[in-house]
Every structure is written in structure tokens, then in C-alpha cells.
Amino acid sequence: MVPLAPKCGVEVEDVNLAEAEGDTLTAIKQAIYTHGVALFRGQADFTPEAHIAFAQRWGGIDINNYFPLTDEHPEIAVVRKRADQVTNIGGGWHTDHSYDQVPAMGSILVARTLPPSGGDTLWAHMGEAYDALPEDLKAEIEGLEAFHTADHIYDEGGLYAKTDMGSDLRGQALKTGATHPIVIRHPQTGRKLLYVNSAFTMHIVGKSREESLPLLQRLCDAATAAENTCRVAWEPGSVAIWDNRTTWHLAMNDYQGHAREMHRITLTGEPLAA
Ligand code: AKG
């Protein structure tokens, strides 16, 4: 394994994900829990069927309610930016599904159509972010919880109004909302992780949004310090798998006029605790 950056991400070489199981799968999981994200290049065999089979071997698929799904494979969400679309999906720092009571463990993203250049994805490591907080700030957030929702993004008129995403995609106006500790422990590694994010965290429990914003903003600024991040330039055959508890991510929107399409399967998670 080769680090993608000193504090976030690894590239895993010499693994064919379509065949990965047993000890190889266990080692991949451990690397992702620890480093946050793993990149696999040259995965020509990672067809939609292989993508689904790998996710099932991992432990289960959490189907997202807001993304369009592929016609042939309803387990696969399409992360699409059409050539004439301005807003991309995931263009702000976030962690997937934090608005769910039991957020998805992580995601497996496969490059299917890429722009001629641009469209990179960045991740930030929330264990590193927590560790680097000043001690007085760590003490201030200990034991606090925050409320997360995606309604402002997916509802009619929300951020994704002119994209293929939406809360009425499946014919129902969905509502989201969940409360989680601001600092969680990773269910497998036990590491303390900062668990608020710029996109979905609305307020601190017991405080209004206005009262919460200065502290949330301070945490979000600290979380995305450049030294906590890594960046992937996609190539045909690239696959990235990340841990939503350990990382935030952001998709660059620097390829206006070109299409980009990724296939995403979201992995089932488990309840989060401090
Ligand atoms: C997501 O799937 O949550 C994203 O943010 C998309 C990431 C990407 O397309 O690079």
C-alpha cells in the first residue's frame, strides 16, 4: 500500500477487486477503517455485477433514496453531472448519510465517464482533524450532540433542484433527520472522530442554528485543514472505497461543459456512539 497523502488515504496495488474476498477483503477493510479511503486503479473487471457482488461480500448495501439508480441494477446509484448541468453532486464537504439514524458505513465509487480533465475527489481524515483540535475545543465539544438533515438539499427548490437528484424521485417527499454525537468512536478501530459536516449538520442539540454556527464553523474549518486531506485524479478503471465515519469528501466542480458519471454503492453501517 502506498499513502495518497501523509494523513489520509492509501493506494492499494496488485488487487483485483472483482475477486477480492477472505483475508484480502479483511486487509482492505482494515486499511479503509484506518486511512479513511483506498484507491484501486486499473479495475477493468469491476463491472456493475462485480460492484454489487463485492458490496454484498463486504456486508450489505444501503440504497440511497435520493440518487437516480441504474435501470438494470437498482443497487447502484448514479452520481451524474450532465454536460449542460452547472451544480455537481457532492461539491461541498460532506459525509454521506449523516442525516440517517444509522448512517451508511461507506461508499464504493467507480469512474464510468470522466471529463477530459478535472473532476477530482478530495477526502479529509476526521481522526486527524479531531487529534489536531486545541485541548480547550476538545473539552468544549465533549458530550455534545448535533442534528443532521438533508431536507434543504434534496427538497424541491433545494441545492440539487436542477440535478437528477431529489426527495420525490421515488414518488414521495422524504424527510430526514438524525442526532449524533459531535465526537464518535470508530466502531472498529475505537479512534475518536469528529462527526459534524458542512452539508448536513444543522445545529447543536439544545442550541438554535444561529447559536450553533460559530462553533460548527470552527470545527468545519479545522476539519478541512489541507494537511488532513488527500486528492484523487480519476482514470478509467479507478475505484475508491471510503469510510464515512473516518472521512469527509468533496467532488471538484471544475469541468463545466463536460459530462461526468460515477457509479456508487453505499455500504450498510451501524449505530454511532461517543
Ligand atoms: C458522493 O457520492 O457522495 C459524492 O460526493 C460524489 C463524489 C464524486 O463524484 O467524486
Per-residue confidence (pLDDT) for residue 48, from 0 to 100 = 97
Closest CA to 241 of 110, 120, 124, 107: 107
- Per-domain boundaries in the chain: 2-267
Per-residue confidence (pLDDT) for residue 167, from 0 to 100 = 67
C-alpha cell at 99: 442525516
73 counts as catalytic? no
152 counts as catalytic? no
C-alpha 139 – ligand 1 centre gap (Å): 32
Average pLDDT, the chain: 94
Q: Per CATH, which fold does 2-267 belong to?
A: Double-stranded beta-helix (3.60.130)
94 counts as catalytic? yes
Mutation pick for ligand 1 pocket among 62, 109, 263 (CB with most ligand atoms within 8 Å): 109
β-bridge pairing 10-11 and 37-40: parallel
Q: 202-235 pLDDT, tens per residue?
A: 999 999 999 999 999 999 999 999 999 999 999 9
**pLDDT exceeds 90 at position 187:** yes
pTM, two decimals, is: 0.95
Q: 13-36 pLDDT, tens per residue?
A: 999 999 999 999 999 999 999 999
**ipTM of the assembly?**
0.98
The more confident residue out of 16 and 172 is 16
